[in-house]
Structure 1
């Protein structure tokens, strides 16, 4: 009996190990996000009762993970800060998310080599093909998490763009009713919890920064950096200018809300105009060739039969 493992069994074992590790990492990350959200929405008494065992697991996770994945991150502090900012813009606010990203990127870069090596051990591939597929798979696996981060960032920005007009309308209403800017932000963050939970979570973070002594314009500038939206940068500049000049905050916010509503209508009209152009692509690629075959097919058959008969008569002569 052979003492070596069957290549197929080795391949199944490696795939199962990688998939299990990835699933556990994703589940733990989601659990940490849910725990963090519950801490923000719950009271101090509920936090003291329910978060003690989770704090132990989270603390152990935060201590072990940087030691394992710290060497996989860029050594340059500016590049590491840029990567951390990209994680924030994609919605991953935990400091440990950057280490999880590095481990997943390493696993996706190594996984193609393991798969190709298993096929090579089974005799399906040549050494040259093994090398080429390993390099190509490692490149794709290394770039895929970065592309996925960009995709998450775009989706998050779309959520913000759709929900910001409602935020500005509610904020204008609160300020014109007599509330201060700080109290208005807190009230609006509560009101938008169910309609726009992503924006409400960010507004809650802004409210916490303001409560800790940060100026409102600086807190919204930090929010603009986390979302990478020009409209929020303009809003932060608006708050700064109204505080410096003593202008009416409610009037300025009303103008800003009308501008955001107009921009949303323009984006909807632009999407409608693009839809009419995009419909032409399947029409030209799928419908038009079918219609052409249905119309010109019988004529082509008749022409081919006629020319075939004439060639046969000419050959007989």
Structure 2
């Protein structure tokens, strides 16, 4: 156990020192910078990586060295895309898990355990292990929170965007022009679904088949209702049915589904409030009602 603690302390110190010295170790010489300025093609190819802050490059390097199974990488990549991040953020995410697993216990060790001289006692060892586990799991919990929030926002926005698409199609616009109008509407500015529609519209303008662009959008959002919407558009185009009627029916069904979910949550509220009512409100109410009578009875029987 002593060897494990010593190794953990060494890794924490090494990481803190590496983060502190990284800007100095990676600083380019004056001659190298002048040569790179004389080579515009090389400068252009490295502009994106040089714009990254040093701490991000360090964390991405840590994430790239972290042994993770291909299945786990695929799962994290899908979660990152569903949360609104790029696929290239995978190594940053993995590196942040490792960095927090080292930094959080390292802070506890160097600010409390070592100054107090209680590093080898059971309680500090338990805290150190718990902080390491919490630091490793914290990015995953944060990512799941972002994914759920984004999916909820997309689910609530989809019927409104469908209404705008319906009005645009009934006014004579094609589906591509209607998609452009929906994603550029001021009321949906900054909305994740509008951003995904904008990406799909750009892919369609670049020559990608409409069905493939919309399916990719559905995969990025990872929302079942968006998949159903894309399937409806593809089938409508394939069979030549009325697009405006299909959009209106689909929008009405989504609003009905959203209303049913709200009614279900409202029905659960009475059950959820029952436990705090019994545990907290009823005891206080009983004390207020019975307390004075109880003390009067105590005085009488004295």
Q: TM-score, normalised by structure 2?
A: 0.74
Q: Residues 221 and 232 of structure 1 are in contact (CA less than 8 Å); yes or no, is this contact kept in structure 2? A: no
CA displacement at 1:184 relative to structure 2: 1.3
Partner SS state of residue 122, structure 1: helix
Specify the alignment match of 2:23 in structure 1.
none
Specify the alignment match of 1:105 in structure 2.
97
The 1:55–1:183 alpha-carbon spacing in structure 2 relative to 1, beyond 3 Å, is: farther
Specify the alignment match of 1:89 in structure 2.
82
| Distance of 1:231 and 1:267 partners within structure 2 | 14
| Distance of 1:55 and 1:204 partners within structure 2 | 27
The 1:135–1:221 alpha-carbon spacing in structure 2 relative to 1, beyond 3 Å, is: same
Cα RMSD for the two superposed structures = 3.0
Q: 1:261-276 to 2 correspondence within 5 Å?
A: 261-276=255-270
| Distance of 2:241 and 2:83 partners within structure 1 | 35
CA displacement at 1:185 relative to structure 2: 0.8
The 1:92–1:304 alpha-carbon spacing in structure 2 relative to 1, beyond 3 Å, is: same
Specify the alignment match of 1:139 in structure 2.
133
Specify the alignment match of 2:49 in structure 1.
59
Q: 1:238-253 to 2 correspondence within 5 Å?
A: 238-253=232-247
Specify the alignment match of 2:8 in structure 1.
none
Which moved further from structure 2: 107-116 or 252-261? Answer: 107-116
Q: Residues 193 and 201 of structure 1 are in contact (CA less than 8 Å); yes or no, is this contact kept in structure 2? A: no
Specify the alignment match of 1:70 in structure 2.
64
Which moved further from structure 2: 253-262 or 290-299? Answer: 290-299
Q: Residues 165 and 260 of structure 1 are in contact (CA less than 8 Å); yes or no, is this contact kept in structure 2? A: yes
Q: Does 1:79 align with 2:72?
A: yes
Q: TM-score, normalised by structure 1?
A: 0.71
Match of 1:231 among 225, 236, 257: 225
Match of 2:109 among 110, 117, 131: 117
What whole-Å deviation, never above 9, does each CA across 1:202-224 have from its counterpart, x for those lacking one? 11111112223333232222222
| Distance of 2:222 and 2:282 partners within structure 1 | 43
Which moved further from structure 2: 100-109 or 273-282? Answer: 273-282
| Distance of 1:86 and 1:238 partners within structure 2 | 25
The 1:135–1:61 alpha-carbon spacing in structure 2 relative to 1, beyond 3 Å, is: farther
Q: Does 1:260 align with 2:246?
A: no
What whole-Å deviation, never above 9, does each CA across 1:111-147 have from its counterpart, x for those lacking one? 2321332222122635122322211111111111101
| Distance of 2:296 and 2:48 partners within structure 1 | 77
Gaps of 5+ in 2: 1-12, 21-42
Q: Residues 73 and 102 of structure 1 are in contact (CA less than 8 Å); yes or no, is this contact kept in structure 2? A: no
Q: Residues 168 and 178 of structure 2 are in contact (CA less than 8 Å); yes or no, is this contact kept in structure 1? A: yes
The 1:64–1:110 alpha-carbon spacing in structure 2 relative to 1, beyond 3 Å, is: closer
| Distance of 2:205 and 2:244 partners within structure 1 | 22
| Distance of 2:105 and 2:136 partners within structure 1 | 12
Q: Residues 186 and 207 of structure 1 are in contact (CA less than 8 Å); yes or no, is this contact kept in structure 2? A: yes
What whole-Å deviation, never above 9, does each CA across 1:236-262 have from its counterpart, x for those lacking one? 211222222222222111110111122
